[in-house]
Amino acid sequence: MDAAEIGPKAIDLFAGPGGLSLGLKSAGFNIIAAVELDSDAGNTYRNNIGNHTEIKDITKFKAKILREKLIQSGKLNVDERISLIAGGPPCPGFSLIGRSKISDLIKNKKGQYKQQKEWRHRFIDDPRNKLFLDFVKYVKEFTPDYFLMENVSGMSSYQIKEDPIVDIIKKKFRGYNVEEKILNAADYGVPQNRNRIIFLGSRKDLIKCNFPFPSYKNNHLNSLDAIQDLIHTIPSEDGIVNVKHISSSSRGGLFRRRMRDWQCVREDSKVVSGSSSEKTSHWTRKVNDRDQVLFKFIKSGSPSISRGKISFTSSQPKQIYGDIFPKMWSSDLVPKFRENQLKAWKRNGRFYVANKQGRRWLMYPSGQFKDKMRRIRWDCPSPTVVAHLAKDGYMFIHPFFDRTITVREAARFQSFPDSFEFTGSMTSQFRQVGNAVPPLLAEALGKEIIKSIVKNNDS
């Protein structure tokens, strides 16, 4: 029997590609079931974690049905309680991107928001914000010792009328003591600044003990720590230099070693084979001719990296898209476009660029798209990896190259090991990575919950 099969039993809801399950498995949990709507994410989960994934709409796939299936399969005994239900119900209205997008739809009377009178959207306006109620129903059916629910930190500042939404959610879990805390994944070994609100609930009949929030680490990994071994050479003022010459922290080395060595083992004991020197999903979108020029002007603000007399990057002030356009149009951008055989002109107050094949692009309005392009700092944790990468990665320009990050680089920032293989198109893979719970954050939470389970069992 696999060691994970003798651990405390857990169910993963809104499981995505399996970041939460992977971390919980590593902590010692036996994941007996998972529910995920998206077929690509569900297949990624099956390939890496196991065939216990139910690719179904959780609003229609009731908790009682899952309990019956688990009993019939022998994974759960009649009237048996499990140790943990975990998951991250998607609530797009709570994220800054989600609020902005939905508010715009309401303001302009589009889609499902045509009848909405108030353009500032409320929690009740988007049915996806009610998905946490399905999480509540599963907790009610299975009555686990603990539950763990993850969501965007923006939820903490939201309210319905005068009641904070956090308090409303906590009251829905009858029979449980519930606490919430905002955690930054960077504090738990993830090379990414990712703030998430974590709800932890314990059944009221358990012994009283501190809620199992993990203690945090002070030393953060930076972006270069995460992806240094994925870069063979980087451009410098002295030509192309082997990236191995850059000194790296011991913590960065340990992280990269774990990403390379951490083998994903499915429930059928099959080892997922994505840990070769050729990394899977190490792909990104092609940048068009106009943006290849623009990327050269986007600066992260990172200090230079030096080894002896070799300067790997120039230490320059941070520059985002709003800093270069239209301010630098005539003095810097137009000559650079011409140098790259591109034509640039202004007509009726609008700015255009075209290549010699006749492909024409309109420049992004700087007022509306000031943050359209940003370069990742090599000396800081990555910015929050988001599902919007499925549409474009212009806010995730590589620290050294004039391109956006690859799926595998985004996965490293999320702390997915190299053996974890994503299925589906590139667009789908970016979405899966951006929506996932970082495995190392899940592992840290899982270890603390297991300590509490052991404490309760020994009492």
Catalytic center residues: 91
What are the angstrom distances between the C-alpha of 378 and each of 194, 239, 375? 16, 19, 9
Query: Do residues 266 and 273 lie in contact, with contact meaning Cβ atoms separated by under 8 Å?
Result: no
Helix, strand, coil percent content, the chain, rounded in steps of 5: 40, 15, 45
Angle at 436 between CA 217 and CA 159, to 5 degrees: 85
DSSP state of 394: T
In terms of Cα–Cα distance, which of 247, 272, 275 is closest to 259? 275
Contacts of 162 (CB under 8 A, 6+ apart): none
Q: How far apart are CA 426 and CA 3, in angstroms?
A: 34
Alpha helices (runs of H) in 328-406, residue ranges in sequence order: 334-339
DSSP state of 208: P
Q: How far apart are CA 10 and CA 63, in angstroms?
A: 14
Alpha helices (runs of H) in 93-207, residue ranges in sequence order: 96-107, 132-142, 165-172
Q: How far apart are CA 110 and CA 48, in angstroms?
A: 39
Q: How far apart are CA 280 and CA 409, in angstroms?
A: 11
Query: Do residues 138 and 85 lie in contact, with contact meaning Cβ atoms separated by under 8 Å?
Result: yes
Q: How far apart are CA 459 and CA 454, in angstroms?
A: 9
**Phi, psi torsion values for 217, nearest 5 degrees:** -105, 140
Q: How far apart are CA 8 and CA 6, in angstroms?
A: 7
Number of alpha carbons in the 13 Å side-chain half-sphere of residue 100: 4
Query: Do residues 261 and 418 lie in contact, with contact meaning Cβ atoms separated by under 8 Å?
Result: no
Q: Of how many residues is the chain composed?
A: 459
